[in-house]
Amino acid sequence: MANEVILLDFWPSMFGMRTRIALREKGIEFEYRDEDLWNKSPLLLETNPVHKKIPVLIHNGKPVCESTIQVQYIDEVWSDKNPILPSDPYQRAQARFWVDFIDKKMYDAQRKVWWTKGEEQETGKKEFIELLKTLESELRDKTYFGGDDFGYVDIGLIGFYSWFHACEKYGNLNIESECPKLIAWAKTCMQRESVAKSLPDSEKVIKFVTEIRKKFMIE
Amino acid sequence: MATDEVKVIGAWASPFVMRPRIALNLKSVPYEFLQETFGAKSELLLKSNPVHKKIPVLLHADKPVCESNIIVEYVDETWSASGPSMLPSTPYDRAIARFWAAYIDEKWFPSLKSILKAEGEEEKKAVLAQVEEGNALLEKAFIDCSKGKPFFNGEHIGYLDIAFGCFLAWLRVTELAGGHKLIDEVKTPSLSKWAERFCNDPAVKPVMPETATLAEFAKKIFAKPTA
């Protein structure tokens, strides 16, 4: 049966980036459709009626929602190459734990850095750096979070790296000086074609953040 | 390795702690239940879950696994030969089960909790409406997932049954406190029957607290401090 894969996404979304990377790691052809989140398409509303959010992966007409669930789905359907989750149950549980940690904490912490001001921003910056340091200490001296092979936790985290320069600009931070190992890890990931193709250029993200701030933030 | 010692750090009233206990019971895995004291965290808990410092934690040969739904998948995979699979067999059906489990944790349970904490009629009405909307979605999800069988997972209790069913005691406490039914034969007929089957299952009964006992406990922890 021919595989028809459509991804409803929004180019700056760190969550959408996960699914893009997973599809590319497996060498799957897919149709990428960029959504206007202020004017959501009927297809998006129909395929994700519960949350009305991107990304939505539509495989042969059947929708899968939630980026981490999509990555696991892709790993299970196309299990013949480039495994994303480890095969050992304990290692799998550890990988799931760290992606869950990233899901619970990263977005809100990062958002506080580029979206808030004053005391709220200062607290946000401290939390964000602490978070990155926790992840860095989990990484230790490994190439990737899972060891020698690129995998689930790397995919779960790397999308946020495309927003780092925007955080540094608006948060007045130097992430590399705080977390050099994590930045080294990110640069290693960026050398993979699946990652380089799936992450937007940092400058494009900075421009996007600048526009959002102009539109919605009270200066 | 699978026969190494298993411990669960938790508390009897926590629905999240119920999840790994039900999973272990379904796989007939004996375990030691280490109860935390309400209001104080043990050294072992802090050492085993330094990131979140929360229960439940599963210790398998002293190696910790944290986060209730992750523990359930770990139990399913580690003791795969000891009982039926807790997740459906196709990747698509597994994605659906995981989707609803995530929905329950991110949206449904927080709105259930807000009913008990809601102040004033307006707020209560609003959160009630949210929970009922969620229940309607889950009623439909049950019909779609179960495909005519007794549980979300089909013939046997599985990941999504556990993810949702663990909240049933708290749901009954909330119904008692508010004087209104949330899951019943009229609004959610399929879920109502499923709830009874779930609670009476031998893997669930020993770890599901009695509604009256839980209601007493709820009164204590939600009691407003005196000025």
For residue B191, give how far its alpha carbon lies from the nearest alpha carbon of chain A (Å): 19
Residues A121 and A206 in one domain: yes
pLDDT of res. B2: 53
Report if residue A195 sits inside a domain: yes
The last residue of a domain, from among B49, B78, B107: B78
Question: What domain range includes position A19?
Answer: 5-78
A64 and A93 both lie in a single domain = no
Q: What is the pLDDT of residues A40-62, one digit of tens each?
A: 999 999 999 999 999 999 999 99
**Neighbouring residues of B121: CB distance < 8 A, sequence distance ≥ 6:** none
Whether residue A120 is found in the same domain as residue A72 = no
Write down the pLDDT at residue A187: 98
When scoring B60, B62, B66 by the number of chain A Cβ atoms within 10 A, the one with the most, hence best to mutate, is B66
Last residue in a domain, options B78, B111, B130: B78
- Asked if A64 is an interface residue toward chain B (Cβ–Cβ < 8 A), one would say yes
Q: Are residues B166 and B211 in the same domain?
A: yes
pLDDT in the model for residue B213: 95
Q: Is residue A20 situated within a structural domain?
A: yes
Interface test with A, best of B57, B94, B130 (most A CBs within 10 A): B94
Is residue A130 within 8 angstroms of chain B, CB to CB? Answer: no
Residue A65: enclosing H or E segment and its boundaries? strand A62-65
ipTM of the complex: 0.96
Per residue in B190-214, is it b (16+ CB within 10 Å) or e — as a string? bbeebbeebeebebbeebbbebeeb
Give the Cα separation of A22 and A25 in Å (integer).
Answer: 5
Torsion (CA) A206, A208, A210, A215 in degrees, nearest 10? -170
CA of B145 vs chain A CAs: smallest distance (Å): 14
Structure tokens at B5: 């010692």
Residues of chain A neighbouring B74 (CB-CB closer than 8 A): 89-90, 92-93
One domain, residues B113 and B71: no
Of the residues A22, A55, A78, the one at which a domain ends: A78
B23, B51, B78 — which closes off a domain?
B78
| Position A129 confidence tier, pLDDT thresholds 50, 70, 90 | very high
The pLDDT score that the predictor gives to residue A52 is: 97
Within a domain: residue B118?
yes
Do B215 and B105 share a domain, yes or no?
Answer: yes
State residue B201's pLDDT score.
Answer: 98
pLDDT given for residue A3 in this prediction:
87
A62 and A103, same domain (yes or no)? no
Number of domains observed in the structure of chain A: 2
Q: Which domain holds residue B148?
A: 91-220
Residue B205 lies in a domain: yes
pLDDT given at position B227: 46
Same domain (yes/no): A59, A161: no
Q: Are residues B74 and B182 in the same domain?
A: no
pTM for the model stands at 0.96
Domain count, chain B: 2
Residue with tokens 């619970």: A104
In a domain, residue B72? The reply is yes
The answer to whether the beta carbons of residues B55 and B14 sit under 8 Å apart is: yes
Residue A93 sits in the same domain as residue A154: yes
pLDDT band for position A37 (cuts 50, 70, 90): very high
Q: Using a CB-CB distance cutoff of 8 angstroms, which residues of chain B are in contact with residue A134? A: 51
Classify residue A84: in a domain, yes or no.
no
User: Residue B221: CB partners within 8 Å, gap ≥ 6?
Assistant: B38
User: Percent helix, strand, coil in chain B (nearest 5)?
Assistant: 55, 10, 35
CATH number at residue B138: 1.20.1050.10
Side-chain-facing half-sphere of A183: CA atoms under 13 Å:
11
**How confident is the model over A161-190, as a mean pLDDT?**
97
pLDDT at A2: 72
- The domain spanning residue A12 has which CATH number? 3.40.30.10
Answer whether residue A73 is part of any domain.
yes
* DSSP states of B33-73: EEEPPTT---HHHHHH-TTT--S-EEEETTEEEESHHHHHH
Query: What is the tens place of the pLDDT at every residue in A80-127?
Result: 999 999 999 999 999 999 999 999 999 999 999 999 999 999 999 999
Q: Would B210 be classed as within a structural domain? A: yes
Please indicate if any CB of chain A lies within 8 Å of the CB of B130: no
Residues A74 and A93 in one domain: no
Low-confidence ranges of chain B (pLDDT < 50): 227
Query: What separation, in Å, do the N-terminal and C-terminal C-alpha atoms of chain B show?
Result: 54
For residue B175, the Cα-to-chain-centroid distance in whole angstroms is: 17
Indicate the average pLDDT of chain A: 96
Same domain? A120 vs A164: yes
Q: What per-residue confidence (pLDDT) applies to B224?
A: 60
Does B83 reside within a domain? no
Residue type, B160: L
